[in-house]
Structure 1
Amino acid sequence: MSDIQSFKAEQKYETFSYLPQMTDEQIRQQIQYLIDQGWNPAIEHSEPENAFGSYWYMWKLPMFGEQSVDTVLAEVEACKKENPGHLVRLIGYDNYAQCQGTSMLVHKG
């Protein structure tokens, strides 16, 4: 239980932020899961002070039908490089349910 973080120790943004920071391999596995579910990856970013608002900036359009984890990771890296200091999150849009299947913070500016 020592790996579990206190809510007051650090600001929490998404579901996985209550767990220890994901490694690059764990992020890769989450992206693979998102793709395996048939969800469409999308990337958003926001300034840390505006992260709790309902509006984040969309990085390009969602990657409809994308099957490559490396392509998604390349776009995450491009977003991080273009927006230093921003939080970056990855979203998986579920076409069937017409909602987000998953959303996770992949970079804390």
Structure 2
Amino acid sequence: MSEVMDYKSRLSDPSSRKFETFSYLPAMTENEIRKQVEYLISKGWNPAIEHTEPEFVMDYYWYMWKLPMFGETDVDKVLAEADACRKANPNNHVRLIGYNNFNQSQGAAMVIYRGKTV
């Protein structure tokens, strides 16, 4: 078995905080973000965009960017909204969510743009 790596994530060090699985990986490229949006749409999930300040990333409340995009199937429209959110809130983390209508829950949630850390 390979050795498990310890990530030095501490509440006292905002730049080290890990907040979801993808945050342990390098930031996603634009193409990788596009693939995630394509996946959400292919599953029939409703995309939504949320954002929050990096110092509050561990809180349960994130600000919703507009309403969820119910029934949206255009990848470029979803990406344009995510980019608009990032431009309007350049220091915030921006999260992409896929709401699953059938299960009445989030099918996926991931930070696609990372804000500046303190």
Calculate the TM-score normalised by the size of structure 2: 0.84
Find the partner of 1:107 among 96, 109, 113: 113
Q: Aligned residue for 2:93?
A: 87
CA distance in 2, matches of 1:64, 1:17: 27
1:65-84 to structure 2, matched below 5 A, reads 65-84=71-90
2:36 partner amino acid? Q
- For structure 1, list consecutive stretches of 5 or more residues without a partner in the other structure: none
1:2-81 alignment, distance < 5 Å: 7-8=7-8, 10-81=16-87
Kindly provide the amino acid, as one letter, of the partner of residue 8 in structure 1: K
Instruction: Find the aligned partners of 1:96 and 1:57 in 2 and give their Cα distance.
Output: 24
Normalization by structure 1: what TM-score? Answer: 0.90
3-state DSSP class of the match of 1:78?
A: helix
Q: Deviations over 1:51-102 (max 9, x none)?
A: 1101000000000000011000100110011112001000000000000000
The structural deviation recorded for 1:7 is: 2.1
Per-residue CA deviation, residues 3-60 of structure 1 (Å, 9 max, x unaligned), is xx86227321222112222111111001000000000000000001111101000000
Q: Which has the larger radius of gyration?
A: 2
Q: How many residues align?
A: 105
For structure 2, the residue ranges without an aligned partner over 5 or more in a row are: 10-15
